[in-house]
Amino acid sequence: MKYELSCPICGKPREFASKAYFYKARKHNKPCRSCSNSIQLGGKGNLYNKSGEKLCIDCNVYKPISEFHKNKKKHLNSVCINCSKIRSKVYHDSHYRYEKYGISKNEFDNMQINQLGECAICNTSILAEGHIDHCHKTGRVRGILCGNCNKGLGLFNDNIIYLTNAIKYLTK
């Protein structure tokens, strides 16, 4: 015998492995796993409207299913692609960027203050977005650079001989 019950939020049919799970879900009007996860993240569940569009829990707008990525289990995410990009950028700017180099946001801010908001090499303003410069061999953070200086050091592979040769070449 099959134990089937539709989710009280999204209405999707779901099948239960045992009679006990079926009766518990029915008694407590439990939502499906994806709706439950959405609610835990602050959403309203995996809500779909009559035209088959899904509700994004971040922007609170119904969007076509094509606007949502699928996770590893082939289920639709609760957040649309655009909101997912915004979340990713916020996380990168506030956490990942610093964790990657083993420093905190406060340490980064202190380095910017010590450098007077300027690139450690060319002294241009880096208040908009400074790049964390680090030694690729030791991982030690050296300072904050503008994008051009950071790329320049990277293209020279942080090699002092190459940089010295470049200085000699430029002074000819």
pLDDT tens sequence across 107-150: 988 999 999 989 999 999 887 678 999 988 888 899 999 999 99
The pLDDT score that the predictor gives to residue 11 is: 74
The pLDDT score that the predictor gives to residue 62 is: 86
In-domain check, residue 94: no
In-domain check, residue 15: yes
Together in a domain, 108 and 76: no
Residue found by looking up tokens 């293209």 in the block: 155
Give the residue, 46 or 67, on which the prediction is more confident: 67
Q: Which DSSP symbol is given to 48?
A: B
In-domain check, residue 76: yes
pLDDT tens sequence across 72-118: 877 788 789 999 999 998 888 778 888 888 898 889 889 999 999 89
In angstroms, rounded to a whole number, what is the distance separating the alpha carbons of residues 131 and 61?
36
At 16, the pLDDT band (50, 70, 90 cuts) reads: confident
In angstroms, rounded to a whole number, what is the distance separating the alpha carbons of residues 55 and 9?
12
Q: How many domains does one find in the chain?
A: 2
Measured from the Cβ of residue 155, the count of other Cβ atoms closer than 10 Å reads 9
Domain of residue 7 covers 3-83
Together in a domain, 79 and 123: no
In-domain check, residue 91: no
Q: What is the amino acid identity at position 49?
A: N
DSSP for 108-154 reads: HHHHHHHTTTB-TTT--B-SS--EEEE-TTT--EEEEE-HHHHHHHH
At 20, the pLDDT band (50, 70, 90 cuts) reads: confident
Give the residue, 33 or 80, on which the prediction is more confident: 80
Given 50, 83, 116, the domain boundary residue is 83
Residue 40: φ, ψ to 5°: -65, -30
Together in a domain, 109 and 162: yes
**The pLDDT of residue 24 is above 70:** yes
Together in a domain, 59 and 117: no
Together in a domain, 10 and 59: yes
Together in a domain, 132 and 69: no
At 22, the pLDDT band (50, 70, 90 cuts) reads: confident
The pLDDT score that the predictor gives to residue 18 is: 82
62 to 22, 70, 84, 100: CA distances (angstroms): 30, 17, 15, 36
In-domain check, residue 95: no
In-domain check, residue 89: no
129 to 50, 97, 121: CA distances (angstroms): 45, 12, 15
The pLDDT score that the predictor gives to residue 144 is: 93
**The pLDDT of residue 45 is above 70:** no
Together in a domain, 48 and 114: no
In-domain check, residue 93: no
Together in a domain, 107 and 68: no
Together in a domain, 110 and 156: yes
